[in-house]
Amino acid sequence: MGAADGPKDGLDPPSDPEEWSDEQWIAWLQATDPTPAGDPQRPVTIGSRLARSAGGSVLGTAMLALSQAIYGRRDDEVVVVVDGGSAPAPDADFEVHLDPDHPERSSVVFRRRPEPPSD
């Protein structure tokens, strides 16, 4: 069996494209296509093929950058807020005063510990 007989695993197409019929070319192309990752029952669409291509990645990145330029960056920062007691611990070396209405007025006061008496 030569290349003119049709596609086989590991066989390159013939040097003269006219040697194979359209059906042989289609069979060879289907045999050499990589299998798509994911669900084998799900058909590969133009949109999914574009999303996985280099051009699709560049286009997606450009669209995200344009969105950030127009609307600003999204605030995805996660903030954890814990309501604590307002009385400082008696042996704390510092005291924190927070002003939620005017954060620039918040302060931290550090206290010096008395030096132990020398013998």
Q: Where are the domains of the chain?
A: 1-34
* Residue 35 DSSP symbol: P
pLDDT of residue 7: 47
pLDDT of 10 over the 60 cut: no
pLDDT of 26 over the 80 cut: yes
pLDDT of 43 over the 80 cut: no
Of 20-29, 76-85, 102-111, least confident by mean pLDDT is 76-85
Q: Could you report the per-residue pLDDT of 46-57, keeping only the tens digit for each? A: 666 666 778 878
Q: Is 110 strand, coil or helix?
A: strand
Q: Are 26 and 9 within 8 A, CB to CB? A: no
Percent of the chain with pLDDT over 70: 70
Helix (H) or strand (E) holding 95: strand 94-97
Mean pLDDT of 102-119: 83
